[in-house]
Amino acid sequence: MKVVVDATPLTALAILQYLELLPQLFEEVFVPPIVFQEVAIQIVCL
């Protein structure tokens, strides 16, 4: 299954260090560039 991730769940998974779950659950994970940017800024600001 393919999935497009949004910023909020992606941020939560990153904070909890569970990003590795995404490729285990889905065959293809797409992170839109604006979502990547938003998450990267949120993680750096923590």
pLDDT, mean of residues 14-40? 93
- Number of domains present in the structure of the chain: 1
Task: Between 42 and 19, name the one with better pLDDT.
Answer: 19
pLDDT, mean of residues 12-41? 92
Mean pLDDT of the chain: 90
Structural domain including 10 reads 2-44
Q: Which residues of 3-24 are buried (b: 16+ CB within 10 A; e: fewer)?
A: eebebeebbebeeeeeeeebee
pLDDT, mean of residues 23-34? 95
